[in-house]
Structure 1
Amino acid sequence: MTNTVNKLMPIAKCFTFGSSSSLNVQAYRFFRWILPPIFGLFLLAVIWAMIAEHTPELPGPIKTWASAVELFSDPFYDHGINDKGVGWNILASLQRVGLGFGLAAIIGIPLGFIIGRFEFVARMTAPVISLLRPVSPLAWLPIGLLVFKAANPAAIWVIFISAVWPMIINTAVGVNKVPQDYMNVAKVLNLSEWKIVTKILFPFVLPYMMTGVRLSIGVAWLVIVAAEMLTGGVGIGFWVWDEWNNLNVEHIIIAIFIVGIVGLLLEYALTQIAKRFSYE
């Protein structure tokens, strides 16, 4: 029995060492992943605190954090149309972005396929896209107010017109990048246009299309804040403007972080969706 135990001891040591080594590697990878962002945020907080030290009107990180804790202790209170919790404002902005972004995807992605697939349509739409794409999104707001006679659909219109261009352009570029050999095989097999789109174009174009979608959601979330500042009502942009009128700088800084975090989460969600439906 003793001899058997002595023989098994080196094997057990090997397994123990291997397990310890694996844990060390995992710990190293974890800290290598988490430490750079922590150091970056810490550096941002230090710079922010130094600026606030010399600018009495600007609240520092500690004061802003205390205000954020109080603010998010009841984010969904409702004291009337002009006094709602920050949670309602975020949801209202997300609703507008979702509607405008959804309309842009419904129109922009198919239009991108058509432009990339047919040269005549590409040449016909090229001057229109080149003319309208560089226009500032907020320049479209008066047109929306004139046509829709209301602030909410006008804001959704601004989101739509801002988000549609990246989808159209990236999808069209992806279609143009499809190897000619693929299209030659489709001709030989006498595939229908529907088969060409679903079996050849869509799998190849998907990465380009998702890049356009990610760019569009970033633009949409960026524009909605500025649009809501001008249109009013409930929304994160209006909330920022209202807090500025009340000289509540802590809430403005909190709103900046909210906009950044929500935008980051939206882009991350789209990235995960793109990986889920990737054909690679």
Structure 2
Amino acid sequence: MSAVVESIMGDNAKPAGNAGPVERPQAANEAQAAPAAPVTAAPRAPRKKPLGASAFMRIVPPVLGVAVLVLIWQIIAAKNSSFPTPWATLQEAMSMFSDPFYRNSPNDQGIGWNVLASLQRVGVGFGLAALVGIPLGFAIGRVQFLSAMFSPIISLLKPVSPLAWLPIGLLVFKSANPAAIWSIFICSIWPMIINTAVGVQRVPQDYMNVARVLNLSEWKILTKILFPSVLPYMLTGVRLSIGTAWLVIVAAEMLTGGVGIGFWVWDEWNNLNVPHIIIAIVVIGVVGLILEQALVALAKAFTYEQVSN
């Protein structure tokens, strides 16, 4: 009996190390067998430029460019006595802009009145071109028949110099002022027509299919689908047109006379007043830049971009 008890006690007293293999949980086995995931470094944030470097790049290069231009100007003036120096031109400009709106006679007015007269002609001619060109561009882009009908005409007339239309305007209107406005109109209309028509033709076909499914009227298609999609193209055409119009008015006024910045430049040339001509060139450039930047800001305000996730 004692032998049996000892046998039983001996089996129970065996150390755990001698016991058979113990099964591990399946999750623990999978965790041990799975390879460790590679550790990737977190992307570094883009390094920002120091504030001083940003200000340097914003200020120094333009100032350096102007300094180089003035240096070249000074060298030309030193070698040509009839050409005014930068300092002499600056003094003349300060005297001129101290009273830009004087008016002694119809042919003796300040540069301010001449710029305003030119801007008025540009505004009228440009406005008429927009009233005609933008709706015509929508029609050409929307109707295939009109596109095929007007494409040869536009391709033929678009390369013609705007000043070539000035004699036609003088012949038809019998006056210099309407003839100058006509020249601005005819040179401003082509970019508006072309860009607007291209914008209409590039509207996604899915939009038009949805409009057909919903049975939208032509007015709804125009106002809800075409106009928002075409607006960036249309504003690009407007921006190109205003730059061209401002270029043309100076040349047209040189030929037609009257009050205007172009005629003022020509009159100063007849008086051999070279400093005033240089000042007028700067004024023309500044006004053109202001018009351009204003329309660029307008285009950015009405242009949207797709945001990627």
Instruction: Report if aligned partners of 2:199, 2:233 keep a CA contact under 8 Å in 1.
Output: yes
Partner residue of 2:103? 78
**Larger helix percent:** 1
CA positional deviation for 1:120: 0.4
Residues 1:247 and 2:272 aligned together: yes
Deviations 1:147-206, CA, capped at 9 Å, x for gaps: 111111110010000100000011111111111111111111111111111111111111
Q: Quote the Cα distance in structure 2 between the aligned partners of 1:195 and 1:57.
A: 65
Alignment RMSD (CA, Å) = 1.4
Structure 2 unpaired stretches of 5+:
1-47
**Percent identity of the aligned residues?**
69
Partner residue of 1:16? none
Partner residue of 2:241? 216
Q: Quote the Cα distance in structure 1 between the aligned partners of 2:126 and 2:55.
A: 36
Instruction: Report if aligned partners of 2:141, 2:198 keep a CA contact under 8 Å in 1.
Output: yes
Q: Quote the Cα distance in structure 1 between the aligned partners of 2:171 and 2:239.
A: 30
CA positional deviation for 1:103: 0.6
**Alignment partner of 2:86 out of 46, 51, 61:** 61
Q: Secondary structure at the match of 1:57?
A: coil
Q: Secondary structure at the match of 2:105?
A: coil
Instruction: Report if aligned partners of 2:117, 2:259 keep a CA contact under 8 Å in 1.
Output: yes
Match runs of 1:159-238 below 5 Å = 159-238=184-263
Give TM-score, length-normalised by structure 2: 0.81
| Count of residues in Structure 1 that have an aligned counterpart in Structure 2 | 258
Q: Computing the radius of gyration over CA atoms, which structure comes out larger, 1 or 2?
A: 2
CA positional deviation for 1:219: 0.3
One-letter amino acid matched to 1:188: V
Partner residue of 2:117? 92
**Alignment partner of 2:146 out of 114, 121, 131:** 121
Q: Secondary structure at the match of 1:134?
A: coil
**Alignment partner of 1:263 out of 288, 293, 306:** 288
One-letter amino acid matched to 1:83: D
CA positional deviation for 1:26: 4.1
Partner residue of 1:29? 54
One-letter amino acid matched to 2:221: I
One-letter amino acid matched to 2:143: F
One-letter amino acid matched to 2:223: T
- Bigger mean CA offset, 206-215 vs 241-250: 206-215
Instruction: Report if aligned partners of 2:122, 2:246 keep a CA contact under 8 Å in 1.
Output: yes
Of structures 1 and 2, the one with the larger relative CO (CA 8 A, separation 6+) is: 1
Q: Secondary structure at the match of 1:79?
A: strand
Match runs of 1:16-55 below 5 Å = 25-55=50-80
Partner residue of 1:141? 166
Instruction: Report if aligned partners of 1:203, 1:279 keep a CA contact under 8 Å in 2.
Output: no
One-letter amino acid matched to 1:208: Y
